[in-house]
Amino acid sequence: MSQPAESAASYSSQPLLPTISGPDDVKALPLEALPQLAQEIRDEIIQVTSVNGGHVGSNLGVVELCIGLHRVFSTPTDQFVFDVAHQGYVHKLLTGRAGEFFRGLRKTNGASGFLYRSESKHDAFGAGHAGTALSAALGMATARDLRGSAEHVVAVCGDAAFTCGVTLEALNNVVGSTKRLIVVLNDNEWSIAKNVGAIAHYLNRLSTNPTYNKIHHDLERFCTSLPGGHEMHRVYMKWKRETKDFFVESSLFEKFGLRYIGPVDGHDQEKMIKNLEFAKQGDQTVLLHVITKKGKGLDAAIRSPEKFHGASPYDSATGENKKGPAGTPPNYQDVMGKALTKFALADSRIVGITGAMPAGTGLTHLAQGCPRQFFDVGIAEEHAVLFAAGLATKGMRPVCAIYSTFLQRGYDQIIHDVALQNLPVTFCMDRAGLSANDGPTHHGLFDISYLRCIPGVTVMQPKDEDELVDMLHTSLQLDGPGFIRYPRGAGQGTPIKETPATLPVGKAEVVREGTNIMIWALGPMVQDALVIADRLAAEEGLSVGVVNARFAKPIDHTLLHKHATPGSMIVTMEDHVVTGGFGTAVLESLQDCDHKTGLERIGWPDNFVEHGSSVEILRAAHGLSPDDIHQRILHRWRSAKEITI
Ligand SMILES: Cc1ncc(C[n+]2csc(CCOP(=O)(O)OP(=O)(O)O)c2C)c(N)n1
């Protein structure tokens, strides 16, 4: 399905990509070889992502841009800061990571799907969350100035990065921080979904104003055709900057002290190189506005940019997703989105808010079923939370659907604006727990710890998708903030009741009674706990009970203390860091009442967990496979008995 490059065949019959072991090899190629290199890079990205999944569209769109960057600048001395860093595949392929390592993209021991300083000296700054590039690049450029060195710092930002508050904060500080910085604005008009808001509209006007662009293209062609064209081109670019305001209101970026260059066709390799060279000259802070096509080279990705933003494995010929096993239960996100739509249709006070992730959070269902009650605010989690707080003051029942990891952005707003004023905002924290192949920037492993310390909040996790609907229903009736965490991917296959239940807040559910050991499990860990309990009973003759804890705050102290009998043992299980998590809440509760019961807390260790091929592989690598947990519980039980004897 990859489209043939016009001149790809004309340079060499030998593949070029295997000859690229670093940026110097990119520089050594003649200009005529670059279309073939671009085509091979696209083929490789399609080949690898069709098997491993990954960020297809964003990377196919930046091929010429990244080749241009490595032709004009020299990493690691010069530094590129990629926003989100999900579009770093081309950069990886040009900096010595092609071959087996790249083929293992997002898999255990393979290349990460994002950029990490620890992965390569060419990765100047790590990321996975959006909007960080401009601030970080500004810091690096300022450090360079203070230290008196000469390297270039280039921030590469997508158009959606400019919907992030932090990008705008950095923009506001360019003038006061440095006199030399290059910002490449890679404008493809898409976030994950279509980019939203006034800035997206403004960029669209900048790139599509027909009068301006016609004059610009004619004059540029004319200048470069003259003898001494380079100088003419320079004079022309100056004129262009100065006249752009006349055609397209005013160039916003100039007001922030960035010389605006563009718009430039990001797939015209020669133009890309020429404009990057121009941006590199002298002491200046510039913004190079590059227009690219998300998914270029793969028809299916051009047709469906949202689906191919972060795609699961697909057929490279048809673009169809490779089928999972038959009968896979629906994803948690879809269950939530459909339930919310049903509730919103029955109650006009209910509204759903997403920060640029309508499909990922399941809010597409609401957007389609109840569009007036749906808001996509862009990559603006802080604003999403505050916006919800404002809505709640007027009697609305807002639901913020934000991945656990991205809600970290809205922490002050959660405390200062929602919790302190006890406003009834519901937070649906998708991707809570391990997000295996995306890695540490995307694991949702900290939310219980960062929420549990806030007074008055309710934090819960359902054991299955039916209970998720109950929790949403319950949270929408709370007088204050409610947080529901649930994992990525498919539910347990539990049928959803017609009428949801209102759960008693702070009450756990005993799934199975036991007298020796009680496992208090949170969320889908309940299923694992049942398997472990069966095995401990069958192999060791122990009576092991299982509790579906449901609430990480408030926890069910009464039931817990009932289980904390002398000689028995309590085990907690959570898909969350053990530090400050649910197990710690249990520990504190037992400690406060001076219970001496043995307690084993199972959760992720106090480390950043790497990316890996699957949750199972990562659990095994960190001593959290069901077998490891079984052994830990048994070991703890036996040692406690020895001490008692
Ligand atoms: C704080 C945060 N919120 C949400 C996301 C999810 N996310 C990843 S990429 C992306 C869109 C990026 O769009 P853009 O910067 O324009 O780059 P493109 O993929 O279009 O090249 C979003 C919303 C994120 N990474 N970080």
Please report the atom of ligand 1 found closest to the CA of residue 129. 26
Mean pLDDT throughout 442-453? Answer: 98
Lowest mean pLDDT among 221-235, 338-352, 498-512, 628-642: 221-235
Q: Which residues on neighbouring strands pair with residue 602, listed in sequence order?
A: 573
Which of 294, 431, 488, 553 is flagged as catalytic? 294
**pLDDT for 206:** 84
CA of 473 to the centre of ligand 1 (A): 30
| Average of per-residue pLDDT values in the chain | 93
Active site residue 27: no
**pLDDT for 532:** 98
SS (H, E, C) 241-306: HHHHHHHCCCCHHHHCCCEEEEEEECCCHHHHHHHHHHHHCCCCEEEEEEECCCCCCEHHHHHCCC
Active site residue 409: yes
CB hemisphere CA count around 70 (13 angstroms): 29
The three-class DSSP label of residue 411 is: helix
Helix residue spans in 82-228 (DSSP H): 89-94, 100-103, 133-147, 165-171, 174-177, 198-208, 210-225
Lowest mean pLDDT among 125-134, 231-240, 392-401, 438-447: 231-240
Quick check: CB of 161 below 6 Å from ligand 1? yes
Give the Å distances, CA to CA, from 330 to 106, 337, 362, 469, 488: 24, 11, 11, 13, 11
CA of 340 to the centre of ligand 1 (A): 24
Tell me: pLDDT of 11 over 50. yes
pLDDT confidence band for 239 (50 / 70 / 90)? low
Active site residue 280: no
Quick check: CB of 602 below 6 Å from ligand 1? no
Mean pLDDT throughout 345-358? Answer: 98
Structure tokens at 630: 């079984």
Higher pLDDT, 234 or 62: 62
Quick check: CB of 383 below 6 Å from ligand 1? no
Quick check: CB of 129 below 6 Å from ligand 1? yes
Mean pLDDT throughout 144-168? Answer: 97
pLDDT confidence band for 6 (50 / 70 / 90)? very low
Q: Tell me which of 49, 84, 204, 409 to substitute to probe ligand 1's pocket, judged by most ligand atoms within 8 Å of the beta carbon.
A: 84
pLDDT confidence band for 7 (50 / 70 / 90)? very low
Nearest Cα residue to atom 4 of ligand 1: 379
Please report the atom of ligand 1 found closest to the CA of residue 309. 19
**pLDDT for 420:** 98
**pLDDT for 150:** 96
Please report the atom of ligand 1 found closest to the CA of residue 356. 23
Is-contact 31 270, C-beta < 8 A?
A: yes
Please report the atom of ligand 1 found closest to the CA of residue 130. 26
Q: Tell me which of 186, 192, 354, 442 to substitute to probe ligand 1's pocket, judged by most ligand atoms within 8 Å of the beta carbon.
A: 192
Tell me: pLDDT of 541 over 80. yes
Mean pLDDT throughout 51-55? Answer: 97
Instruction: Residue 494: count other Cβ atoms within 10 Å of its Cβ.
Output: 15
Distance, CA of 142 to CA of 180 (rounded, Å): 9
**pLDDT for 282:** 84
Quick check: CB of 438 below 6 Å from ligand 1? no
Quick check: CB of 355 below 6 Å from ligand 1? yes
Quick check: CB of 86 below 6 Å from ligand 1? yes
Quick check: CB of 319 below 6 Å from ligand 1? no
Domains with residue ranges and CATH for the chain: 8-209+248-303 (3.40.50.970), 332-485 (3.40.50.970), 510-644 (3.40.50.920)
CA of 356 to the centre of ligand 1 (A): 8
**pLDDT for 223:** 61
Nearest Cα residue to atom 26 of ligand 1: 129
**pLDDT for 144:** 98
Tell me: pLDDT of 4 over 50. no
Which H/E stretch holds residue 157?
strand 153-158
φ, ψ at 192 (rounded to 5°)? -85, -55
Is-contact 486 522, C-beta < 8 A?
A: no
Which amino acid, 505? V
Quick check: CB of 87 below 6 Å from ligand 1? yes
Tens of pLDDT along 143-152? 999 999 999 9
Is-contact 590 559, C-beta < 8 A?
A: no
CA of 609 to the centre of ligand 1 (A): 22
**pLDDT for 447:** 98
CA of 160 to the centre of ligand 1 (A): 6
**pLDDT for 448:** 98
**pLDDT for 210:** 52
**pLDDT for 644:** 57
Tell me: pLDDT of 247 over 60. no
Tell me: pLDDT of 9 over 60. no
Is-contact 553 585, C-beta < 8 A?
A: yes
Tell me: pLDDT of 627 over 70. yes
**pLDDT for 645:** 46
Quick check: CB of 356 below 6 Å from ligand 1? yes
Higher pLDDT, 218 or 173: 173
CA of 406 to the centre of ligand 1 (A): 11
Nearest Cα residue to atom 21 of ligand 1: 58
The rounded percent of the chain whose pLDDT value lies above 70 is: 92
CA of 354 to the centre of ligand 1 (A): 13
CA of 164 to the centre of ligand 1 (A): 10
